[in-house]
């Protein structure tokens, strides 16, 4: 049988954004090809995500797969963080989100064993939760394939073919594939893929580590985010939650950020993370750590994604710079981008869509994500 090489849309990247985009395009009867340099789906940053899905953002546009509904909880220990989160509630409430400020006693009930010293209260969004990134991407891929999408692996894209300012297809080390539309959804490789068409995408990966414990008896419903800086000044946002099988999964944002694409685990992560975990919830001092790993956050300067069509290259679309939130944003990005490609309009209001523009001022952006 002759291998098909002509498609309506080619997506570069079979991860948290590329897969749902393919699914929504396939639902619209679009002939889609997804190419990835890895041996299978979700082998980039998707499998390294901790699986949190939240509505607690400051940017209005962000507003069985192992899903666990338990909410997100931001306990607050400082007046600065209390003011910031209470100010953000006005934006979140405007969009109808079920998020509220709660007193310290309620936070103690939500997070049993939390350190009560100086606890002022916190924000809780009960509809949020956690899911397995790999299980989710596998389920979406299966459905996309049922609808006619094609996925090819070990296909490193080495060229994007253009003719008179229009996309004609892509070249891999194995051959050529043709389509009038190409989507760059290549995660941490976004900038390198952009260079294939002369684009300088402001997407700069930095690395974050995470760890997981052995299962313990269920006691924690929400995923918890501590916004404080660690006592040694080497970490900021620290977050953890209990998965549906009982493991505690945890991560923090390093300070300063570790820029680059190195995904080798560091020796300092576990001692620092363990100390923060025990300080916040002392009852976890004897829990067994099973493993740690390191992944990449493809960051933009203002902490918000780039989802747009390239004006001077007809048929070139971008879905990059997810800033470590590709798993939670992927389905929404995919649905809107698919509609944008097919009809010229996203599903969300245009004024919100424009905040994802490739043409925006990344350094003077009035909004930006405060909880990145």
pLDDT in tens, 101-144: 999 999 999 999 999 999 999 999 998 877 778 888 899 999 99
pLDDT in tens, 64-92: 445 567 889 999 999 999 999 999 998 88
State whether the Cα torsion 103-109-111-115 is positive or negative: positive
- If asked whether residues 104 and 228 sit together in one domain, one would say yes
- If asked whether residues 19 and 155 sit together in one domain, one would say yes
Contact 95, 60 (CB under 8 A): yes
**Into how many domains does the chain fold?**
2
Give 131's contacts (C-beta < 8 A, 6+ positions apart). 51, 53, 65, 66, 67, 68, 327
Is the confidence at residue 273, as pLDDT, over 60? yes
Q: At what angle do helices 133-146 and 326-343 cross, to 10 degrees?
A: 20
For range 5-20, the mean pLDDT: 96
> Reduced to 3 states, what is the DSSP secondary structure of residue 134?
helix
For range 151-166, the mean pLDDT: 97
Q: How many CB atoms lie within 10 A of CB 108?
A: 17
Closest CA to 277 of 251, 244, 302: 251
Domain that holds residue 326: 9-47+133-202+302-356
Domain CATH code at residue 155:
3.50.50.60
Whether 62 is in a domain gets the answer no
Position 60 scores a pLDDT of 45
- If asked whether residues 292 and 328 sit together in one domain, one would say no
Whether 363 is in a domain gets the answer no
State whether the Cα torsion 43-47-52-57 is positive or negative: negative
- If asked whether residues 191 and 42 sit together in one domain, one would say yes
- If asked whether residues 141 and 91 sit together in one domain, one would say no
Q: For the CA atoms of 171, 176, 178, 181, what is the dihedral angle to 10 degrees?
A: -20
């Amino acid at each position: 049988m002759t291998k098909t090489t002509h498609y309506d849309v080619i997506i570069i990247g079979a991860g948290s954004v590329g897969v749902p985009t393919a699914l929504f395009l396939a639902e619209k009867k679009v002939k889609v090809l997804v190419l990835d340099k890895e041996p299978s789906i979700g082998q980039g940053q998707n499998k390294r995500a901790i699986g949190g899905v939240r509505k607690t953002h400051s940017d209005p546009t962000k507003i069985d797969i192992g899903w666990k509904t338990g909410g997100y909880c931001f306990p607050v220990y400082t007046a600065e963080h209390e003011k910031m989160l209470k100010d953000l509630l006005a934006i979140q409430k405007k969009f109808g989100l079920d998020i509220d400020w709660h007193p310290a006693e309620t936070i103690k009930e939500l997070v049993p064993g939390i350190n009560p010293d100086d606890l002022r209260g916190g924000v809780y969004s009960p509809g949020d939760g956690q899911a397995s990134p790999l299980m989710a991407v596998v389920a979406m891929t299966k459905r996309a394939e049922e609808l006619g999408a094609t996925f090819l692996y070990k296909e490193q894209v080495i060229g994007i073919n253009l003719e008179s300012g229009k996309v004609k297809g892509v070249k891999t080390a194995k051959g050529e594939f043709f389509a009038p539309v190409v989507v760059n959804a290549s995660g941490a490789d976004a900038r390198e893929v952009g260079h294939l068409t002369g684009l300088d995408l402001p997407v700069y990966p930095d690395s974050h580590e995470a760890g997981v414990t052995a299962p313990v008896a269920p006691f924690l419903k929400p995923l918890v985010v501590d916004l404080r800086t660690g006592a040694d000044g080497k970490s900021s946002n620290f977050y953890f939650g209990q998965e549906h099988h009982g493991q505690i999964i945890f991560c923090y944002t390093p300070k300063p950020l570790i820029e680059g694409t190195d995904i080798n685990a560091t020796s300092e992560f576990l001692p620092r993370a363990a100390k923060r975990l025990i300080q916040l919830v002392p009852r976890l001092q004897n829990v067994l750590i099973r493993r740690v790993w390191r992944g990449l956050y493809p960051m933009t300067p203002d902490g918000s994604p780039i989802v747009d069509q390239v004006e001077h290259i007809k048929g070139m679309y971008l879905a990059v710079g997810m800033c470590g939130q590709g798993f939670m944003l992927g389905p929404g990005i995919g649905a809107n981008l698919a509609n944008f490609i097919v009809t010229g309009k996203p599903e969300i209001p245009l004024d919100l869509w424009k905040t994802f523009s490739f043409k925006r001022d990344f350094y003077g952006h009035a909004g930006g994500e405060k909880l990145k």
